[in-house]
């Protein structure tokens, strides 16, 4: 595997592990929130909003690793029964289309991130959250997710479907 693909995989895994840390933080925060309410301790009024923001970031931090490991739902009936040459061409087109969609969304969310950063806007809830921080992980997730879609053909693999031999029970 080339160095660039190993670096891409390492970045994807790093982002995934950051998401795992956020999940650990959510568990700790929810546990504290429930215990504090039941024990009459001061509650964290910011807990719900923090969990919502963390869940948003988890979604985008996980995206590249989920693409890499094929953690998806895919209906591949058509691909399974296509002739081998047509299927490979179709899958390459799907990889490119998926990558282009990710890159477009990375561009749009990066634009929203920069606009919020320049304007200094805030989302006002139980605490003020800078809008740029809300958008921070979106361009990262989409960009590296798009690169992962492009990495499949380079590796000689497919994200979308398997050969008909893999579906012996169908």
For the chain (170 residues), the mean pLDDT of every run of 10, in chain order, is 91 96 96 92 89 96 93 72 85 92 98 95 88 95 96 85 46
| Structural domains counted in the chain | 1
What is residue 87's predicted lDDT score, i.e. its pLDDT? 84
What is residue 161's predicted lDDT score, i.e. its pLDDT? 61
Q: Is residue 168 part of a domain?
A: no
Q: Is residue 72 part of a domain?
A: yes
Range of the domain at 142: 3-163
What is residue 160's predicted lDDT score, i.e. its pLDDT? 73
Other C-beta atoms lying within 10 Å of the C-beta of residue 23: 13
Q: Is residue 9 part of a domain?
A: yes
What is residue 167's predicted lDDT score, i.e. its pLDDT? 42
What is residue 1's predicted lDDT score, i.e. its pLDDT? 67
Q: Tell me the torsion sign for CA atoms 104, 106, 112, 115.
A: negative
Q: Which of 98, 96, 100, 70 is nearest to 161 (CA)?
A: 70
Q: What ranges in the chain are assigned the alpha helix state H? A: 3-39, 47-68, 77-81, 84-119, 131-135, 137-155
| Token output for 35 | 């215990």
What is residue 134's predicted lDDT score, i.e. its pLDDT? 93
What is residue 80's predicted lDDT score, i.e. its pLDDT? 78
**Alpha carbons within 13 A on the beta-carbon side of 75:** 1
Q: Is residue 169 part of a domain?
A: no
Q: Is residue 170 part of a domain?
A: no
What is residue 11's predicted lDDT score, i.e. its pLDDT? 96
């Amino acid at each position: 595997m080339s160095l660039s693909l190993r670096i891409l995989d390492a970045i994807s895994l790093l982002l995934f592990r950051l998401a795992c840390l956020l999940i650990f933080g959510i568990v700790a925060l929810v546990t504290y929130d429930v215990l504090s309410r039941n024990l009459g301790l001061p509650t964290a009024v910011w807990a719900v909003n923090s969990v919502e923001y963390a869940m948003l970031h988890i979604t985008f931090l996980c995206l590249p690793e989920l693409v890499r490991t094929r953690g998806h739902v895919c209906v591949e009936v058509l691909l399974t029964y296509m002739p081998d040459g047509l299927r490979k061409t179709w899958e390459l087109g799907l990889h490119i289309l998926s990558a282009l969609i990710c890159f477009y969304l990375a561009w749009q969310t990066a634009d929203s991130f920069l606009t919020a950063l320049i304007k200094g806007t805030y989302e006002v809830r139980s605490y003020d959250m800078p809008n740029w921080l809300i958008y921070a992980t979106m361009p990262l997730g989409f960009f590296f997710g798009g690169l992962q879609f492009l990495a499949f053909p380079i590796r000689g693999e497919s994200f979308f479907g398997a050969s008909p031999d893999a579906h012996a029970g169908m």
